[in-house]
A and B are shown apart, each in its own frame.
Chain A
Amino acid sequence: MAATIRIPTPLRKLTNEQETVEVESATVGAAIDELEGKFPGIKERLVSEDGEVRRFVNVYVNEEDIRFLESQATPLKDGDDVSIIPAIAGG
């Protein structure tokens, strides 16, 4: 099984400019660890010292914010789309 993670522009320097990365992990948290294995340094950009997703980082699984799902325990299945997006203001 594989889910696709879409990498936001500010992090593409770490992924050799790759816009998407395939992961095999079963949860969002595990997928972040899997990303770290492939692209060392990326995890600390996404997760703060206390293990939580950084407050200005939003993670979506199939367009749904993981904070409405099970946060990092949110399960991933084949074909899921994961987006990592900086929080932005507007109105």
Chain B
Amino acid sequence: MSKSAGFMRALKCRECGREYPLEATHVCEFDFGPLEVVYDYDKIRKSMTKAALAKRPETMWRFRELLPVADDPTVGTRVGYTPLIKADRLAKWLGVREAWLKNDAVNYPTLSFKDRVVSVALSRAKELGFKTVACASTGNLANSVAANAASAGLDAIVFIPADLEEGKILNSLIYGARVVSIRGHYDEVNRLCAEIAGKYGWAFVNVNMRPYYAEGSKSMAYEIAEQLDWNLPQHTVVPMASGSLLTKIHKGYQELIQLGLARDTKPTVHGAQATGCSPISVAFKQGMDFFKPVKPDTIAKSLAIGTPADGFYALKVMKETGGASDDVTDDEIREAMSAVAECEGIFTETAGGVTVGVAKKLVASGKIPAEDSVVLCITGNGLKTLDAVQGHVGKPAEIKPSLREFEQLIESDNKIKSK
């Protein structure tokens, strides 16, 4: 193995097992199966001990051996290690004994879990000599690519569906990225980007850099385990767009078991979707191992992928770990967003509403037993999807600057306790 590969060994097709060099390439030339990074776990076991970890800074890069860069990371070095919050009030709302929120709504720097994948993808893109980075995005990924590229001095071109939330569009423009808005839904943006990626020599984080990029999501699993004193959670509920995050959280847990850092307590992984874009959860509920593509129609735009590329693998993981899958309507999403905000003081975006809403359904149906403990993955920040709750969370009570008006207000207002 060459020194420049770090702890990586090769890229390998998940379908047929053919191996490829560690370049910017993402599909098997034979069957179009996705390529995945394979590691030298013996080497990692020697380097990534609990004692070594204890001395490292609290960022996702403390698990650097399990992240696909050859040398030390150069982009997004402060990403990750977001809080894992014990959510007692939300647990009551859910009807479960214990609930934890892994709060990537405050991930650094762009307030979503995408900073994890982007810091890996851009660090690797720099190692491979790229100067321009790009992505197809439902918003959060574009924000993260734009911000991290800016701080790394890379040029960024991001492609988004034209109907995105205003907040997510501005959050890419501010960093000086070229934002290309496509009149179509995400799957159409993605298709176009696959064609563009074949034509231009850019590092498309979710296309030709995907094998590296996707691995960044595993860091969420490592952090959850370490924050639970190296115990794996009984249940983890993960939102699904392409299904990639769910498969990588599972992979992260399994790697910790393989490395002897956590005991194999058979962690169960559940997948959450919005009813308006639920190809994976519908397939799961019907007992299928393949999904039917759909045209998305949901307020959870960050999850609106109708042709989920990792759907097959997500279905497999949920089945193998004894997990379940369900989906929630737009109203249920908003209700769950409010519950997280009112119970825990955390404003999550629509995807978080999907996760929490589905968790409630899984508890109600007994798929997550009421006496168990569950970790809910909060992947994005509500400040970016204000449009989704506009008009649904009430209005301020407006009065003149007069004590009398205030007293009249408070007498009639059951929200405020006057004593």
- Give chain A's interface residues, CB within 8 Å of chain B: 6, 8-11, 13, 45, 48, 54-58, 60, 63, 65, 67-68, 83, 85-91
Determine which of A60, A67, A90 lies in contact with B206 in the assembled complex, contact meaning CB atoms within 8 Å.
A90
Q: If A89-B214, A89-B242 touch, does A56 touch B302 (CB 8 Å cutoff)?
A: no
Residues of B within 8 A of A68 (CB): 293, 295
Q: If A65-B293, A83-B195 touch, does A91 touch B114 (CB 8 Å cutoff)?
A: yes
B29 touches A90 (CB 8 A): no
B406 contacts A by Cβ under 8 Å: no
Q: If A67-B292, A90-B135 touch, does A57 touch B114 (CB 8 Å cutoff)?
A: no
A60 touches B29 (CB 8 A): no
A10 to B307 alpha-carbon distance, docked (Å): 21
B27 contacts A by Cβ under 8 Å: yes
A6 to B393 alpha-carbon distance, docked (Å): 49
Known contacts A87-B32, A89-B206, A90-B138; 11 further A-B pairs (Cβ under 8 A):
A45-B30, A54-B32, A56-B34, A67-B292, A83-B191, A83-B195, A88-B26, A88-B309, A89-B210, A90-B241, A91-B138
Q: If A91-B114, A91-B141, A91-B244 touch, does A86 touch B29 (CB 8 Å cutoff)?
A: no
Residues of A within 8 A of B241 (CB): 90-91
A65 to B15 alpha-carbon distance, docked (Å): 22
A85 to B307 alpha-carbon distance, docked (Å): 12
Residues of A within 8 A of B310 (CB): 89
A89 touches B244 (CB 8 A): yes
Nearest CB in chain A: distance from B365 CB, A: 27
Residues of A within 8 A of B114 (CB): 91
B194 touches A55 (CB 8 A): no
A56 touches B305 (CB 8 A): no
Residue in B27, B195, B310 whose Cβ sees the most chain A Cβ within 10 Å: B27
- Give chain B's interface residues, CB within 8 Å of chain A: 15, 26-34, 114, 135-138, 140-141, 184, 186-188, 190-191, 193-195, 198, 206-207, 210, 214, 241-245, 290, 292-293, 295, 302-303, 305, 307-310, 312
Residue in A63, A68, A87, A90 whose Cβ sees the most chain B Cβ within 10 Å: A90
A6 to B195 alpha-carbon distance, docked (Å): 9
Nearest CB in chain B: distance from A31 CB, A: 18
A88 touches B31 (CB 8 A): no
Q: If A45-B31, A83-B191, A85-B194 touch, does A91 touch B309 (CB 8 Å cutoff)?
A: no
22 of the cross-chain contacts (CB-CB < 8 Å) are: A9-B198, A10-B27, A11-B29, A55-B290, A55-B312, A56-B15, A56-B27, A56-B31, A56-B32, A56-B34, A63-B184, A67-B292, A68-B293, A87-B32, A88-B193, A88-B207, A88-B309, A89-B34, A89-B244, A90-B138, A90-B309, A91-B305
A90 touches B34 (CB 8 A): no
Nearest CB in chain B: distance from A68 CB, A: 7
A10 to B18 alpha-carbon distance, docked (Å): 14
B292 touches A10 (CB 8 A): no
B194 touches A91 (CB 8 A): no
Nearest CB in chain B: distance from A7 CB, A: 9
Nearest CB in chain B: distance from A64 CB, A: 9
Shortest Cβ distance from A12 into B: residue: B198
A10 touches B191 (CB 8 A): no
Residue in A8, A45, A85, A91 whose Cβ sees the most chain B Cβ within 10 Å: A91
Q: If A88-B26, A89-B309 touch, does A57 touch B32 (CB 8 Å cutoff)?
A: yes
B33 touches A56 (CB 8 A): yes
A68 to B292 alpha-carbon distance, docked (Å): 9
The 4 closest A-B pairs by CB, nearest first: A89-B242, A90-B206, A89-B309, A87-B309
Q: If A56-B32, A67-B293, A91-B305 touch, does A86 touch B194 (CB 8 Å cutoff)?
A: yes
Q: If A65-B293, A68-B293 touch, does A87 touch B31 (CB 8 Å cutoff)?
A: no
B135 touches A13 (CB 8 A): no
Determine which of A6, A13, A83, A90 lies in contact with B141 in the assembled complex, contact meaning CB atoms within 8 Å.
A90
Residue in A10, A45, A54, A86 whose Cβ sees the most chain B Cβ within 10 Å: A86
Shortest Cβ distance from A11 into B: residue: B29
Residue in B137, B190, B303 whose Cβ sees the most chain A Cβ within 10 Å: B190
A89 to B121 alpha-carbon distance, docked (Å): 14
Nearest CB in chain A: distance from B379 CB, A: 9
A67 to B33 alpha-carbon distance, docked (Å): 19
A86 touches B242 (CB 8 A): no
Q: If A67-B292, A88-B207, A89-B210 touch, does A58 touch B307 (CB 8 Å cutoff)?
A: yes
A63 touches B292 (CB 8 A): no
Shortest Cβ distance from B189 into A: residue: A90
Nearest CB in chain A: distance from B237 CB, A: 17
Residues of B within 8 A of A56 (CB): 15, 27, 31-34, 309
Nearest CB in chain B: distance from A42 CB, A: 11
